[in-house]
Amino acid sequence: MRRPALLLLTLCLSLAACDSGGRTSAATPASGSASAAAPGSGAASGTASSAASASASAAVPPPVVPAGVAASVVVFDRRTGEFVYSVAPSTSYRSASLVKLLIVLDVTWSSGAVPAADRGRLDVMLRSSDDAAATFFWRRGGQRALVTRMAQRLGLVDTDPPPAGQPGFWGYTAMSAADVVKIYRYLLDQAPPAVRDYVLGNLRASTRCGTDRYDQSFGIPTALARPWAVKQGWSGFGDTPATPCTAPAALPVQMEAPGALPVHRAAPVDLAGEVLHTTGIVGADDRAVVAVLTSHPDGTAFARATATVTDLVRSLRIPGATPA
């Protein structure tokens, strides 16, 4: 009988989603977005790595990404154990302040606890993305060596230290959305409880303003209601924001001068232009892990980039999340 084949052909035609072998294929992402692939798979392939992830991709709307903007989106549902979004997961971007997640884990790795003497700097680094604090720990931790050993410890496959000729530029660390999700999953499921509670507690208390007076409430904090814990990243928009953030920026921490700080400029890993990232954990019981990494055309204003990233997050269907 050929009736089953006929039924399959009819179904494929009605869905317009079969390849030449009669297999259903993943939907094509919207213009300006990268194609979907399983985290750790290298270049995005446009198809899911399994039937489960293909079904998940078909069930959710594609991210809204304007033309000219490069975006990687990975969303992991901890309840189901599935990736809801996996768009260009292994594309590397310059990390900007996302590398601060590796810095705090390196500081606490050997003891499994947070040294009392380091809490002041770590608090302001995590909550208000303080660069001086990051530079202090970066130098103490051996600069590029810090990234190399943390990538080995956590099994990060797309993370690389800054170029050898620029060891002080911690923001030049290369990271992918897939690796950022791995870091959060380590924090949630494997880190010593004292480290997990300390780091996530600070990320839940993220301030609206960074100590550099950039508004870091874009993306997840604006698009989604609490509970969430976030670490943001931005680079390439200049040392002084066009519209400085005026809310209380940081904890009252007294720190010694760290010396000359690196000037963050576009790195080859991201070609040219500005980068803006919103990442974190969303929903009751920390249900979803979200990483949205973006690169924007050179000259893009911070306000425009933040609006783009916030709209992108709003376009996602994130398990456990409530729109703000």
DSSP string, 157-173: SS-BPPPTT-TT-GGG-
Confidence of residue 268 (pLDDT cuts 50, 70, 90): low
Mean pLDDT over each residue of the chain, to the nearest integer: 82
Taking a C-beta distance cutoff of 8 angstroms, is the pair 208, 245 a contact? Answer: yes
- Prediction pTM value: 0.79
pLDDT-above-90 percentage for the chain: 73
Taking a C-beta distance cutoff of 8 angstroms, is the pair 174, 269 a contact? Answer: yes
**CA 83 to chain CA centroid, nearest Å:** 14
Chain segment 102-116, per-residue pLDDT in tens: 999 999 999 999 999
Residue 187's pLDDT is 98
Task: State how far the alpha carbon of 308 is from the alpha carbons of 20, 253, 286, 317, in Å.
Answer: 37, 33, 25, 17
Task: State how far the alpha carbon of 113 is from the alpha carbons of 35, 103, 194, in Å.
Answer: 40, 14, 6
Question: Where do the domains of the chain lie, and which CATH numbers do they carry?
Answer: 92-314 (3.40.710.10)
Q: What's the whole-number mean pLDDT along residues 40-49?
A: 38
